[in-house]
Amino acid sequence: MIVTVTPSPAIDWTVATDTFDFDAVNRARSSTREASGKGVNVSWALHRAGVPTRTVFPGGGQTGRFMDEAFAEAGLPFVRVDTGREVRTNITLITPGHSTKINEPGVPLDGDQAAEFTSAVLEAARDASAVLICGSLPPSMGAGKLYELVDRLLGLGVYVAVDTSGEALSLALAAGPDLIKPNVHELAELVGREIRTFGDVVVAAREAIDRGAGSVLASLGADGAMYVDPRRALLATSRDIPFVNSVGAGDALLSGFMASSADPAERLHTAVLWASSAVAHDSTLFPLRPELAARITVADLVDRDTPLGEPSAPLVSTVSSASAANDV
């Protein structure tokens, strides 16, 4: 059982148009609302792939009940800590070649609600193989609370992954999470310097490992994704992936990585396949696209001086990952 934790869940409202002009009336081609938030998105992906999962989140009001109904209808196990406050709404506008996101701020939790939420996470973790803490913290929760939660979860003997940013991520490292999943911008913020090359990603990831992380799964946008541990630096790249919507691609990456129990190269291949499937779909509830597996390459990084945004043939050495397509 993989438990996901979403301190700041959301209703994802996705609107797609065939054209868009500012200061004009634009007509929607489609409009959907989905129970969402980073950890929720991970659980959706795992559940739809048949991987046992439970999602834990705070929320209340009509939007909290909307999330309950969505999970109950899908048969996705969940724990909602009732806050009495509506869940925020995040808006995604999809226009030809573009995906624009507008996120509302997270909903605050008072002291009792934060304590209840922590207790709910720890209780859900008792029968879990892994706990994934994903997304930003509510405004009322200090960054140190994430350190405390990671520390207590590790004390239960479960695998802990953290996908957040800023001070919360920096402080969480000291607790020793098994995995962190920053994007390249969050990794740069973590180490306090620009990341210009693939080698810079490795150096920054190893710095995070020196500070406590067991390993790093870094999403690099169009440049692919990288897995770094104390021994290896693996790069996954893809080609000819149709682009529709980038929202949720990082969550899909983490989902795919956690869904596989193979070696790191095959897990990274699966992760990028799930992320590729996500960007090829117009909402966070994406179907897996196994035919994209042949367009993904995973290999040990060779040329660390290549700038991000300019991948080239000598970048990697060949590592067989054909069997990774079977992990979806």
Lowest-pLDDT range of 61-75, 127-141, 199-213? 127-141
pLDDT at 65 over 60: yes
CA-to-CA distance for 139 and 84, rounded, in angstroms?
A: 16
Query: 27 burial class (0-12, 13-18, 19+ CB within 10 angstroms)?
Result: exposed
pLDDT of residue 315: 39
200 assigned to active site: no
Buried b (16+ CB within 10 A) or exposed e, 167-178: ebbbbbbebebb
pLDDT of residue 233: 95
What are the structure tokens assigned to 118, written together?
């922590």
CA-to-CA distance for 17 and 245, rounded, in angstroms?
A: 12
Rounded mean pLDDT, 88-102: 89
Q: What is the pLDDT of residues 154-180, one digit of tens each?
A: 999 999 999 999 999 999 999 999 999
Catalytic residue (one of 251, 263, 303, 327): 251
Q: Which residue has the higher pLDDT, 277 or 68?
A: 68
pLDDT of residue 60: 95
* CATH homologous superfamily of 180-328: Ribokinase (3.40.1190.20)
Residue range(s) of every CATH 3.40.1190.20 domain in the chain: 1-19+28-177, 180-328
Rounded to the nearest integer, the mean pLDDT of the chain is 88
What is the residue whose two structure tokens read 């945004």? 309
Looking at residue 317, its amino acid is S
- The topology under which CATH files domain 1-19+28-177 is UDP-N-acetylmuramoyl-L-alanine:D-glutamate ligase (3.40.1190)
What are the structure tokens assigned to 206, written together?
């190893």
pTM of the model: 0.86
Percent residues over pLDDT 90 in the chain = 68
